[in-house]
Amino acid sequence: MATEKELADFLAGVQRRAFKQAAFAVRDDDAALDIVQEAMIKLSQHYGDRPAPELALLFTRILQNAIHDHFRRHKVRSSWLTLFSALTPAGDEEADPLETLEADGESTATEGAAETVERAQIVRVIEEEMARLPVRQREAFVLRYWEDLDVAETAAAMGCSEGSVKTHCSRATHALARALRNRGITL
């Protein structure tokens, strides 16, 4: 059974990464904040009594379901708006791995301004290209390579087979590599 402190520490530790994951998925920062908040509340209310080691996988699954629910709600809203209107719906935190993109384990403490700007530009390009991936590919890629879940955990979080996870990850990796190469970026 997770104590209140363990639950609070877990939520504090996962909030930034969860936001980035939701933001990549829905491409709307405000909606991503709402999704993460909804997922955290559900975890606290329904699964706060679970053992601490189970919280990460439970939260990942809840977050993925919240993202899928967002798309379902958005689809329903869009269809109604289309039918009835011509208008379209318009501190010291842990480092984000995509924002620190270090090569060969070198420290960024000694890099110059040009290197810092170049790295920031590469990260922005990677984020743009990730946003262009199909939803399931992006979801599998983020869970496997950013959240560092294994294939079985990713399959459980996505509600699909391990083979599907491997396929989505492979397609996402190849698409990202091709897109980055086309933009003149080699990592």
CATH (domain of 24)? 1.10.1740
Q: Is position 100 within any domain?
A: no
Give domain status of residue 59, yes or no. yes
pLDDT, residue 101, reads 43
Residue 34 to residue 106: CA distance in whole angstroms? 37
Out of 46-50, 138-142, 159-163, 177-181, the most confident range is: 159-163
Regarding whether 70 and 122 lie in a shared domain, the answer is no
Please report which helix (H) or strand (E) contains residue 7, including its range. helix 4-26
Q: Which domain holds residue 131?
A: 112-182
Distances (CA, A) of 15 to 40, 56, 65, 94, 184: 9, 12, 16, 10, 33
69, 84, 99 - which closes a domain:
84
Report the residue count for the chain. Answer: 187
Number of structural domains the chain divides into:
2
Does position 34 have pLDDT exceeding 80, yes or no?
yes
3-state secondary structure of 156: helix
In a domain, 57, yes or no: yes
* Mean pLDDT along residues 112-130: 82
Q: Are both 64 and 125 inside the same structural domain?
A: no
Provide the percentage of residues in the chain whose pLDDT is more than 70: 80
| CA 52 to chain centroid | 22
The predicted pLDDT at position 186 comes to 74
Q: Which two tokens stand for residue 68?
A: 């899928």
CB atoms within 10 A of CB 11: 19
Question: Rounded CA gap, 142 and 38, in Å?
Answer: 20
The pLDDT score that the predictor gives to residue 76 is: 59
Contacts of 40 (CB under 8 A, 6+ apart): 11, 15, 18, 59
